[in-house]
Amino acid sequence: MNTPMPSVATTDPATLSLREALAFLDDRIAGRVLISGDPGWDDARSAWNLAVDQRPTAIVVATTADDVVHTVRAAAELGLAVAPQATGHNAGPLAADDGLAGAILLRTHEMRGVEIDAESRIARVEAGAQWGDVVAAVAPLGLTALAGTAHDVGVVGYTLGGGVSWLARSHGLAANHVVAIEVVTADGAARRVDAEHEPELFWALRGGGGDLGVVTALEFGLFDVPALSAGMLLWPIERTAEVFTAWSEWIDGIPTSVTSVARVLRLPPMPELPPFLSGRSLVVIEVAMQEDPAKVDELLAPLRALVPEVDTVHPQASAELLQLHMDPPQPVPGFGDGMLLAELTPAAIRAFVDAVGPDASSALLSAEVRHLGGMMDPGVARAAASVQGTPQPGVTAGFDAGFLLFGVGIAMPDNGEALAASLGRLLSAVEPWSAGSDYLNFAEHARPAERFFGDDLERLRAVKQAVDPTGVMRSNHPIG
């Protein structure tokens, strides 16, 4: 900040103006406090989605857990809210309708420490760690994390929302494998919670999102994956109906060692893309298969019988999975949203193809359907924890749904209406097959909390009331 610092020894924060109090906070923390007009303000308020306009009252860029404690305590004294954020994925609902007014945006992206206990197969990561950081640390040890689909996805936000990885059908949600959480609650207290210490808060944080406190570190399990093949099968978009139908039949009875996604892509001409992708409209199936190569060939035979134009499925290390989904390598302006589907019937496939297939005038870059089930079934996940003697899952144990849909496009100055219309057509088309609930991390617009938490909402709200009775914490998907 540009304001001269008050004397810590002689100044009572309660008597300061807001600007003076923020300068006082800046003097106390290892990180930095920014207000509008300060150098670096616009960079610090940018979300991963560059189309999102975040306008908080102030920004704190924290570098230590103590910075978080000081910030939360100062915000409470000043009557401000605190909105924790690392990478800024899924920031749209938070910023909408001036949702950061009267709030400190607490950026934790510089807290990227990662520690690995290879013997116990436990990772401890700080609040701003990204999946690329974790994968780089565990890969040389022959271990695998339940990572997101891109290197720059924040570990904490992804996990607090549930966390659907390429290994989710066999291992369940990432949140189910968290063993301890370090969190600063609204009273400014730094707590370490696990199954034995504050178990109700531990339950609520695992899948409850960012509305309960500022998580400064997570500890979670890692895994051995002795055999893995992954890649994509690609056809021209004209074959969308045929490929989706074949895929929907193929996944019926497929083992939980296989996780797959079917998607339609309309890719702009981009020099960074290979020629078989750049400027093309395609239907793609992506697979991650924890099987030896002979079994992979056997399982893939029905899809390969469709003679894909490109087939990149090959044995690989789990670190390569960060590239499989071809997510943008850096922040972009986007417009998208998701929906959980109960089932994918022939009628649902026809509706999907009508909305985004070869004859649709869709502005969406990608429209995808992910296969769920297996250990993502909440009942299966809870039963497995009982058998294995591991902590019972948290508030989001899995999904009472068979599929997860997501549509997204690149937001440009001249295509806003077309994007909104295209996304609306897709979501409306598949609405008859909605599961009636939503996944926190794929909800890019506000939803009633009941859509995420169902019958567990009142229990979750009781935890919120216990740890944040005055509503200091502010998140993209508030509990109540």
Q: What confidence tens digit (pLDDT) does each residue in 290-299 have?
A: 999 999 999 9
Alpha carbon 457 to its chain's center: 20
Q: What confidence tens digit (pLDDT) does each residue in 15-55 have?
A: 578 999 999 999 999 999 999 999 999 999 999 999 999 99
Largest Cα separation within the chain, whole Å, is: 78
CB 218 within 8 A of CB 178: yes
**Which three-class secondary structure state does DSSP give residue 479?**
coil
Residue linked to tokens 């300060």: 38
As a whole number, the mean pLDDT across the chain is: 95
Residue 5 reports pLDDT greater than 60: no
Name the helix (H) or strand (E) containing 181. strand 178-184
Amino acid present at 219: E
CB 201 within 8 A of CB 207: no
**2 band by pLDDT with thresholds 50, 70 and 90:** very low
**8 band by pLDDT with thresholds 50, 70 and 90:** very low
Identical fold for domains 114-224+455-467 and 227-442, yes or no, is: no
Alpha helices in 34-108 (DSSP H): 41-45, 65-78, 92-95
The domain limits of the chain are 17-107, 114-224+455-467, 227-442
Mean pLDDT within 295-306: 98
Q: What confidence tens digit (pLDDT) does each residue in 380-406 have?
A: 999 999 998 889 999 999 999 999 999
Q: What confidence tens digit (pLDDT) does each residue in 151-198 have?
A: 999 999 999 999 999 999 999 999 999 999 999 999 999 999 999 999
CA atoms 161, 166, 172, 175: torsion sign: negative
**Which three-class secondary structure state does DSSP give residue 276?**
coil
- Provide φ and ψ at 192, rounded to 5°: -115, 115
Q: What confidence tens digit (pLDDT) does each residue in 252-266 have?
A: 989 999 999 999 999
Higher pLDDT, residue 11 or 335: 335
Structure-block tokens of residue 321: 């999975």
Residue range 227-442, CATH number: 3.40.462.20
The class level of CATH for 114-224+455-467 reads alpha beta
Q: What confidence tens digit (pLDDT) does each residue in 84-120 have?
A: 999 999 999 999 999 999 999 999 999 999 999 999 9
Cα 409 to Cα 280: distance, rounded to the nearest angstrom:
15
Residue range 17-107, CATH number: 3.30.465.10
The predicted structure's pLDDT at residue 4: 41
Residue 36's nearest CA partner among 55, 63, 52 is 55
